[in-house]
Amino acid sequence: MKELTHYINGAHVKGQSGRFADVMNPATGEVQARVPLANSEELAFAVDVAADAQPGWAATNPQRRARVLMKFVALLNRDMDKLAEALSREHGKTFPDAKGDVQRGLEVVEYCIGAPQLLKGEYSDGAGPGIDIYSMRQPLGVSAGITPFNFPAMIPMWMFAPAIACGNAFILKPSERDPSVPVMLAELMEEAGLPKGILQVVNGDKEAVDAILHHPTIQSVGFVGSTPIAEYIYATGCAQGKRVQCFGGAKNHMIIMPDADMDQAADALVGAGYGAAGERCMAISVAVPVGDKTADALIEKLVPRIEKLKVGPYTAGDDVDYGPVVTAAAKANIERLVQTGVDQGAKLVVDGRGFSLQGYENGFFIGPHLFDHVTPDMDIYKTEIFGPVLSTVRAQNYEEALKLAMDHEYGNGTAIFTRDGDAARDFASRVNVGMIGVNVPIPVPLAYHTFGGWKKSVFGDLNQHGPDAFRFYTRTKTVTARWPSGIKDGGEFHFKAMD
């Protein structure tokens, strides 16, 4: 059995706790490796290494730090297929989707190459008699990130690239379900010229998470995962005086207006609802057609598209639409929620129950499901299913559709499909959701804008990537300086008003 390692101080380090987690192959249901689960002592050792290395890195000028990221981008492109294959093997997503995972992380690294510009402070010349005032953005010190299984390349890069560009050291605690790619990324960063100890990977479970939250040297913590854990990490980290940003669950609605192009809307829903087996925090899981005529037309378009979806392992080629979900427990939970939807009265229009793939009967594959006549009181509407399940909630008018998105406890992303510019502008202006798509089903902003939801989808006041990342990973220091023009007659004991 292959035994994975931590990556500490530039070296692969075996686990010392004696505890391990199985790393599965989701396509076959077989255990392919064991990953060590760190205890608090192992985490503390990595923190000590990071604290020793960070001052030298912070003293490296931003342009030189940016050159490391430039080289890292080149290495990511060089090893793209290698990274994607390792990602698909542990996560289960298709090979093109795995390459997209790496690519969307790479784009944030490219943005962070602009660190010399993004870290510039402000200067006020002559703010008073002989007085200048200027501000500096300085690194926090040691930062940490706790990342989810569904994007094992992208989300780590969303965190460590800006943190390191700002001059911090970074400790990454990736998901124990697919931990290989994060270690590969750390190796590539050092090949690009990053000093040892600035980026380290410590695998673990709740014990490692709690060690991060309570370690006094760690100044900031980033997290992406479920809302209950996001709430726990945010509350605990803030109580320890850390800067914390946590991104939680989602239930993303797509409103389809009567004037929408139904073929375009149906294609968008199939891609956004079933891509990556629905294991995306930006997946569309609720379709909201406005009017029964619109709903009937949409269902008619959706059914043949969904029934043609090809489900299979990443090794089956690029024409596979989506692969297995990540674990047997995830599969069982999705199947339980589907049955709950049936029991509570939703109409299961496309029934993926009982799906089995020849030769992969033990894999964690789930057929696509489409519900119609879902109501807001049903569990499949309230819960983030995180699987290939699309629910249709019929709205009788635009205001009812808008209210559905606004009343849900999650506010990550939403979209509207329409030809009416006025409806689109009104929707974007009024809806209380963080990321809006207009005829775009998955409105993930590009790297130079920020990513973040509202309501119970986010805890913290700064988003991921874009300008907010450079605010999150730095502190502002303001200096007021006076250089007298000559010898003064003694000291002044009062604050002189500015002229």
CATH number at residue 137: 3.40.605.10
Residue 182 included in any domain: yes
229: which residues sit within 8 A by CB, 6+ positions away? 223, 248
Q: How confident is the model at residue 420 (pLDDT cuts 50, 70, 90)?
A: very high
Residue 490 lies in a domain: no
Query: Are 178 and 303 within one domain?
Result: no
Residues 218 and 310 occupy one common structural domain? no
Q: What CATH number does residue 290 fall under?
A: 3.40.309.10
The sheet with strand 474-482 has its strands ordered as: 123-128, 131-139, 474-482
Residue 99 forms part of a structural domain: yes
Model confidence pLDDT, tens digit, residues 123-168: 999 998 889 999 999 999 999 999 999 999 999 999 999 999 999 9
If asked whether residues 264 and 230 sit together in one domain, one would say: no
Contacts of 357 (CB under 8 A, 6+ apart): 311, 312, 313, 363, 365
Asked if residue 270 and residue 181 are part of one domain, the reply reads no
pLDDT at 311 over 80: yes
Q: Which residue has the tokens 């990537």?
A: 465
Q: What is the pLDDT of residues 329-366, one digit of tens each?
A: 999 999 999 999 999 999 999 999 999 999 999 999 99
Q: Does residue 487 form part of some domain?
A: no
The rounded distance, in Å, linking the Cα atoms of 168 and 198 is 7
Q: Crossing angle of helices 154-165/180-191, nearest 10°?
A: 30
Q: Is the pLDDT of residue 492 over 80?
A: no
Predicted TM-score (pTM) of the model is: 0.94
Q: Do 187 and 318 have their domain in common?
A: no
Sign of CA dihedral 424, 427, 429, 431: negative
What pLDDT score does 386 carry?
96
- What pLDDT digit, counting tens, does each position of 462-489 carry? 999 999 999 999 999 999 999 876 655 5
Q: What is the largest distance, in Å, between two alpha-carbon atoms of the chain?
A: 92
Q: Is 41 exposed, middle or buried (0-12, 13-18, 19+ CB in 10 A)?
A: exposed
SS3 content of the chain, % helix, strand, coil (to 5): 40, 25, 35
Q: Given a cut of 90, is residue 103 above it in pLDDT?
A: yes
Q: Residue 498 falls within a domain, yes or no? A: no
Are 215 and 124 in a shared domain?
A: yes
Q: Report d(CA 336, CA 334) in Å as an integer.
A: 5
CA dihedral over 406, 408, 409, 414, signed as positive or negative: negative
Q: Which amino acid is at 27?
A: A
276/288 Cα distance (integer angstroms): 21
Residue 317 confidence (pLDDT): 87
Place 318 in a pLDDT band, splitting at 50, 70 and 90: confident
According to the model, what pLDDT value does residue 486 have? 60
Domain hosting 65: range is 2-248+457-479
Q: Which of 121-125, 235-239, 299-303 has the lowest mean pLDDT?
A: 121-125
Q: Report yes or no: 294 and 258 within 8 Å, Cβ to Cβ.
A: yes
343's CB contacts (< 8 A; 6+ apart) are none
Q: Is residue 488 part of a domain?
A: no
Please, are residues 245 and 466 in contact by the beta-carbon 8 Å criterion? no
- Among 77, 112, 98, smallest CA distance to 465 is for 112
d(CA 220, CA 238): 9
Is the same domain home to 258 and 188?
no
| 244/259 same-domain check | no
Q: How far apart are CA 110 and CA 122, in angstroms?
A: 24
Residues 296 and 383 in one domain: yes
Q: Which of 438, 467, 492 is the last residue in one of the domains?
A: 438
Confidence bin at 491 (pLDDT 50/70/90): low
pLDDT average, residue stretch 232-250: 97
Q: Convert the pLDDT of each residue in 264-299 to its tens digit.
A: 999 999 999 999 999 999 999 999 999 999 999 999
Domain shared by 263 and 216, yes or no: no
Task: Find, among 25, 50, 56, 72, the residue nearest to 191 by Cα.
Answer: 72
Query: Is pLDDT of 494 > 90?
Result: no
- The sheet carrying 347-350 orders its strands as 347-350, 369-372, 389-392, 284-289, 252-256, 413-417, 435-438
Q: What is the pLDDT of residue 488?
A: 54
What is the total count of domains within the chain? 2
Q: Can you give the pLDDT at residue 484?
A: 74
Q: Which residue has the higher pLDDT, 256 or 489?
A: 256
**Contact between residue 312 and residue 343 where contact means Cβ atoms under 8 Å apart:** no
Phi–psi pair at 135, nearest 5 degrees: -120, 155
Would residue 238 show up in a list of annotated catalytic residues for this protein?
no
CA 130 → CA 126, 479, 483, 491, distances in Å? 6, 14, 6, 16
Inside any domain, residue 378: yes
- Same domain for 291 and 405, yes or no, is yes
pLDDT in tens, 380-401: 999 999 999 999 999 999 999 9
**346 belongs to a structural domain:** yes
Phi, psi of 479 (to 5 degrees): -115, 125
pLDDT for residue 202 is more than 80: yes
- 183 shares a domain with 73: yes
DSSP code at position 446:
P
